[in-house]
Amino acid sequence: MAISRFLSEKKIVQIIAVASSPHLAELSDYAFRVYPSDDQEIRAIARFASTIVRKIVILIPNNSIGIIAESAFKAEFDQRKPEEIRIIRYDEFPAADRIIYNEMEFFDGIFVMGFDLNKFNNFASHLKQILPHIRIFSTSFNMFDNNTLINSLEGLVYSEADPFNPNDPTEYQARFVRNFINKYFKVPNKYSAYAFDAATVLIQAIRKSKDFDGPSIKSAIKMLTPFQGVMGMIRFDNNGELVPRPILIKEIVKGEIKLLGRI
263 residues of the chain, pLDDT tens digit each: 667 778 888 889 999 998 887 766 666 788 899 998 888 999 999 999 999 999 999 988 888 888 888 999 999 999 988 999 999 888 776 655 555 566 777 899 999 887 667 777 777 877 888 888 899 999 875 445 455 566 667 888 999 888 888 888 888 899 999 999 999 999 999 999 999 999 999 999 999 998 889 999 999 999 999 999 999 999 999 888 899 899 999 998 887 889 999 99
CA distance 43 to 76: 6
Q: Of the candidates 77, 88, 26, which has an alpha carbon nearest to the alpha carbon of residue 50?
A: 77
Q: Which amino acid is it at 47?
A: R
Q: Of the candidates 49, 44, 39, which has an alpha carbon nearest to the alpha carbon of residue 156?
A: 49
Q: Name the pairing type of β-strands 157-161 and 247-253.
A: antiparallel
Asked if residue 33 lies in contact with residue 234, where contact means CB atoms within 8 angstroms, the answer is no
Element (H, E) at 55: strand 55-61
Q: Name the pairing type of β-strands 233-234 and 227-228.
A: antiparallel
CA distance 193 to 80: 36
CATH class of the domain at 39-161: alpha beta
What sign results for the dihedral spanned by CA atoms 113, 114, 118, 122? Answer: negative
pLDDT confidence of residue 152: 66
pLDDT confidence of residue 91: 78
CA distance 158 to 235: 25
Domain limits, the chain: 2-36+168-234, 39-161
For the chain, report the end-to-end CA distance as a whole number of angstroms.
Answer: 29
In this chain, the answer to whether the domains covering 2-36+168-234 and 39-161 adopt an identical fold is: yes
pLDDT confidence of residue 142: 44
- Please compute Rg for the chain using Cα positions: 20
* Residue 184 vs residues 5, 49, 90, 165, 181: alpha-carbon distances, Å: 34, 41, 43, 18, 5
pLDDT confidence of residue 101: 61
What sign results for the dihedral spanned by CA atoms 78, 84, 88, 94? Answer: negative
Q: What is the CATH number of domain 2-36+168-234?
A: 3.40.50.2300
pLDDT confidence of residue 137: 94
CA 245 to chain centre: 11
The structure's pTM equals 0.86
* Residues contacting residue 94 through CB under 8 Å, at least 6 positions apart: 59, 88, 123
